[in-house]
Chain A
Amino acid sequence: MNNPARFISSLVCVACLCAGTAIRADDPFATARQDMVREIEADVRMTSRQLDREVLDPRVMQAMATVPRHALVPESHRNAAYENRPLPIGHGQTISQPYIVAIMTDLLKVTAASRVLEVGTGSGYQAAILAELVDQVYTIEIIEALGKRARRDLEALGYENITVRIGDGYYGWEEQAPFDAIVVTAAASHIPPPLIQQLKKGGRMIVPVGSRFMVQQLVLVEKDTQGEVVTRQILPVRFVPLTGTH
């Protein structure tokens, strides 16, 4: 990243901070959100070995502290919005556990200039977190009702840098490709090869694997500068399967 970009990104960051503060004044969920962020920080410290870092990118944590998660969950679950757990959002879908969202976002290593694609918009929360960090987020949702709801909710929150498309994400978003980062949250029997093709050299893709309520592992697909693809299979938790090898 060159210096002007870094400068701009830190400006964005400051802007976010201000926005965050501005919301906080009349935001009944501000404390809950702060608590959630602190909880994630503590959890990350405990899992540092698996994640290969002590803390997550402060910008990611700032985004977590900013996005009003409660506005993206159904009314009935609003009070639980900042608990560190997944919540049902209707249509058989869930909004992921904040801790997992933070880790996934961090693993993408995005900069403000990154072009990001998300497959599986769901509640729009992951897109909103990414939109705090990058200039433009493209997100595709296959379930029409969900896609419409996410589009409406994200617009209401003032996210102008998120484009929601309703449709099949298997072939990515040809017009906007290639991407620096791709998140595939929609369940797939395999990682769609077209998405790998739409990943820039040096780009990263993250695929959570598991059930709607429990992420078993995160698959990180990295395309190196030669275009070679390597996946990393990451357990989002500090757990070594052999005793005595901590």
Chain B
Amino acid sequence: MTSSGTLERPPLISISLVSAAALAYEILLMRLFSIIQWHHFAYMIISLALLGYGASGTFISLARPWLLAHFPGAYRINLALFGLSSVACTLAAQQVPLNAEEILWDWHQALYLLAVYLLLALPFLFAANAVALALTRYRQAIARVYAADLLGAGLGSLGIVLLLFAVFPGTALKLLGSLGLLASLVAASELQGPRAHGLAGTVLAAVLLLALPAEWLTPQPSPYKTMSQTLRIGGARVIEQRSSPLGLISVVESPRVPLRHAPGLSLQSSAPLPAQLGVFTDADGLTAINHNPQGETLAYLDDLTSALPYYLAEPQRVLVLGAGAGADVQQALNHGVQRIDAVELNPQLIELVRKDHADWAGHLYDHPAVRIHRGEARGFIRRSRGSYDLVQITLLDAFGASSSGLHALNESYLYTVEALQDYLARVAPGGYLAISRWIKLPPRDTLKLLATAVRALRESGIEDPGKRLVLIRGWQTSTLLIKNGVFSTDEITRLQDFCLTRAFDTAWYPGMPADAANRVNVFTQAYFYQAAAALTGARDATFMERYKFDITPATDDRPYFFHFFKWEVLPEILALRGQGGLPLLEAGYLVLVTTLLQALVLSSVLILLPLVVLRSSQDEPASAARPSRVVLYFFAIGLAFLFIEIAFIQKFILFLHHPLYAVAIVLTAFLLFAGAGSAWTARRQAHPSPTQHATARAVSGIAVFGLLYLLLLDPVFTALLHLPVVIRILVAIVLIAPLAFFMGMPFPLGLARLAAVRPALVPWAWGINGCASVLSAVLATLLAIQFGFTAVIITALLLYVLAALVMH
């Protein structure tokens, strides 16, 4: 080993570069694996791969003397290996024949899954090794190294979002790999003494990476995804692809066999289906652009449950939330609606209908009656001043922050109690809010929606919500209408006619007799009617309690509309495994739990291993550096940091109203200001005051701002909601800055103290922090599902206080 590095300048630029590349790589992997697999499996795979950070702590702890003796080389090689492995391991992982759907039957799948974990953990291991080596080597400059790491990560998270708008994920992968190699080159110059052949080799590798053919890097969706299935049909082909952080959009034409996408179509329908172009997002979630060059009436749209409101009244002003490829807009035009506002989140989807396939779609989005708005549904309606006769939401599932890499279980602010109240506030007297959902058996989301509607109405002071609701269903979809007013007998007669001619069932209307339920699409019991009768009456709480799926209303604090899992039903369902019972399992939640369990086991191994190995070779430590205290401190702050980050991202989504921008901006702001906080502790190290005081001050700062925001954010957001988005972004950044600034301090303070008393444990603490971060992301979601995001924030504040106490 050379000196402990007091006077040398740490390679801050290369650290920033590799941290930027590694965080970008994480988000990119989420994108790639959401295309290949399904979102929640992608989440599990990437969470586990991130344990590469924890593993680096273990590895460096064990190989510390050797690595430090060969520092410049070891550091640069890890950077270069990150660059190479990010591309190579991603490609290799795609070759593993993993089919997550078979995992419960086929033990080979568990091995494949493990192989994918290991492959994808490697790039993170190398990136984390580089940072951990720098922290270990430059222990007088820990705060600056950590600041560089955070600043880099912040820029990486923003950079990848921008990059993904510009290039396809495959190209982004090449660029990130090259960025790793560039970091290695920069490190060579930062650390002096580069060897010419090493440099030449790195440059050559970067050139080779960039020259990789695009086909190699194109993610191949699982053969069981909808798009793969569609492409098996003779003549079907992808004619166009667009990519953005919101998803990979593929347009598919099938000239020989029509696509015929008409979910929920009445069995009685004799209406012809138009030719269609299929539009897939991440090779799934089909919607269709109808061929309607003359802008004619498309009669099939009247044979869907969602057409109901047009048969009860004659809405003049319609708002379509989640316009997609335009079926709901066309449905409104069928009925001569003169003013249609249509909101769609994904600008690329709008462009497809409006520009690329405008003639095919009959210039649907340029129809004089139609105004198309880019934006998120909830944000649009909260900022809207309009009043509508009909607000239509059909089979719309939210793009959550999840898709950009943070959660396994989609949170959704579309179907919360507060959301329904927001929508209803824009419904004119006598108008309707119409929400259509897929029917699951046994019923789940339709009932949860019903329960949410009842609560929204009750909380708005409506005493008898049952009089304002009607629910109909086909065999495949249901449509719930919430009226701003009480349904009249005339409306109910029309409703019955509508259902009768289309072979739909009435499931609820005011005054509905029990024997009118469950007649055409028959269940073993009249599930929907029974549930509606219970939920609109006094027995709602008992019913929700007794129901085997969680159908309690989602709220903005617990925005998990798609969470139906109840623990007490698990044994029953597992017992029914062989008899077709597995579809009853709500996979999203279980994936979260299994992710947590796997991460717990692996983290324990990674954390305990160096302790066992190093114990024999080290002297008895000072009490402050006792391993139990080190674990507690770094674990607590590792958990707490992400808890707060994740929970506030959720809070800010409701303010910025765009899940993607909210995540990108909040994450970047958090990381950058935390970096600044870390850098600030570096300055104060010149004036030595006891570390525990500095930690206590940082924790006080976090606690003050955390509590303040818990109380003030909601009113502040409501007051400022009308401001233009740029101003709201600035407000968000200003709000995040002080909190994040303090949050950046505890880690470098603790590490610097550890470096002073027991330097051998520095990489170990880094590894603990890495493991805690992985666990934290999963735990935050599990906690939020159960107790809400407010509880997550409070837990985080308590963990920070615990850390401060441990430091004392």
A residues neighboring B (CB under 8 Å): 39, 43, 46-47, 50, 80, 83-85, 88, 91-92, 97, 99-100, 142-144, 168, 170, 187-193, 196, 209-217, 219, 221, 229-244
Interface contact A190-B263, CB-CB below 8 Å: yes
Interface contact B441-A233, CB-CB below 8 Å: yes
Contact among B102, B229, B522, B581 with A233 in the assembled complex (CB-CB below 8 Å): B522
Chain B residues positioned under 8 Å from A240 (CB to CB): 548
Q: A219 vs B441: C-alpha distance in the bound complex, in angstroms?
A: 11
Interface contact A144-B229, CB-CB below 8 Å: no
Interface contact A85-B268, CB-CB below 8 Å: no
Q: A217 vs B476: C-alpha distance in the bound complex, in angstroms?
A: 11
- Interface-side segment among B118-126, B254-262, B308-316: B254-262
Given contacts A142-B233, A236-B580, A241-B527, contact A189 B228 (CB under 8 A): no
Chain B: number of interface residues, binned into ranges:
35 or more
Of B264, B522, B543, most A-chain CB atoms within 10 Å: B522
Q: A197 vs B375: C-alpha distance in the bound complex, in angstroms?
A: 43
Interface contact A43-B101, CB-CB below 8 Å: no
A-facing residues in B517-555 (Cβ within 8 Å): 519-524, 527, 543, 546-549
Q: A143 vs B223: C-alpha distance in the bound complex, in angstroms?
A: 13
Interface contact B224-A50, CB-CB below 8 Å: no
Interface contact B584-A221, CB-CB below 8 Å: no
Which of chain A's residues has its CB closest to B229's CB? A92
Chain B residues positioned under 8 Å from A244 (CB to CB): 546
| 0/1 string, B460-501, CB within 8 A of A gives 1 | 000000000000000110000000000000000000000000
Q: A127 vs B56: C-alpha distance in the bound complex, in angstroms?
A: 55
Given contacts A97-B580, A237-B576, contact A190 B232 (CB under 8 A): no
Chain B residues positioned under 8 Å from A100 (CB to CB): 580
* B578 interface hit (Cβ, 8 Å): yes
Interface contact A242-B547, CB-CB below 8 Å: yes
Chain B residues positioned under 8 Å from A211 (CB to CB): 101, 224
* B503 interface hit (Cβ, 8 Å): yes
Chain B residues positioned under 8 Å from A142 (CB to CB): 232-234, 257
Which of chain B's residues has its CB closest to A91's CB? B232
Interface contact B583-A210, CB-CB below 8 Å: yes
Which of chain A's residues has its CB closest to B269's CB? A193
* B663 interface hit (Cβ, 8 Å): no
Chain B residues positioned under 8 Å from A46 (CB to CB): 576, 579
Contact among A97, A143, A188, A230 with B522 in the assembled complex (CB-CB below 8 Å): A230
Q: Beyond A191-B267, A216-B441: 18 further Cβ-contacts under 8 Å?
A: A46-B579, A47-B579, A92-B228, A142-B257, A143-B233, A143-B234, A144-B234, A187-B226, A189-B260, A190-B262, A193-B267, A209-B476, A213-B102, A215-B583, A230-B521, A235-B441, A238-B576, A241-B548
Q: A187 vs B440: C-alpha distance in the bound complex, in angstroms?
A: 16
Interface contact A232-B522, CB-CB below 8 Å: yes
How close is B162's CB to chain A, nearest CB, in angstroms?
35
Interface contact A39-B578, CB-CB below 8 Å: yes
How close is B503's CB to chain A, nearest CB, in angstroms?
6
Interface contact B549-A241, CB-CB below 8 Å: yes
* B99 interface hit (Cβ, 8 Å): yes
Q: A50 vs B581: C-alpha distance in the bound complex, in angstroms?
A: 12
Chain B residues positioned under 8 Å from A241 (CB to CB): 442-443, 527, 547-549
Which of chain A's residues has its CB closest to B441's CB? A217
Interface contact B105-A83, CB-CB below 8 Å: yes
Chain A residues positioned under 8 Å from B523 (CB to CB): 232-233
How close is A102's CB to chain B, nearest CB, in angstroms?
11
Q: A143 vs B230: C-alpha distance in the bound complex, in angstroms?
A: 10
Interface contact A213-B584, CB-CB below 8 Å: no
| 0/1 string, B421-445, CB within 8 A of A gives 1 | 0000000000000000000111100
How close is B389's CB to chain A, nearest CB, in angstroms?
28
Which of chain A's residues has its CB closest to B232's CB? A143
Closest 7 CB pairs of A and B: A92-B223, A241-B442, A190-B265, A217-B441, A236-B580, A43-B579, A213-B101
Given contacts A187-B229, A213-B101, contact A233 B267 (CB under 8 A): no
Q: A97 vs B234: C-alpha distance in the bound complex, in angstroms?
A: 27
Chain A residues positioned under 8 Å from B286 (CB to CB): 189
Given contacts A213-B101, A241-B547, contact A99 B527 (CB under 8 A): no
24 of the cross-chain contacts (CB-CB < 8 Å) are A47-B580, A80-B106, A85-B105, A97-B580, A99-B579, A100-B580, A170-B257, A170-B260, A189-B262, A191-B265, A211-B101, A214-B583, A216-B440, A216-B441, A229-B503, A231-B521, A232-B521, A237-B576, A238-B579, A239-B442, A239-B573, A242-B543, A243-B547, A243-B548
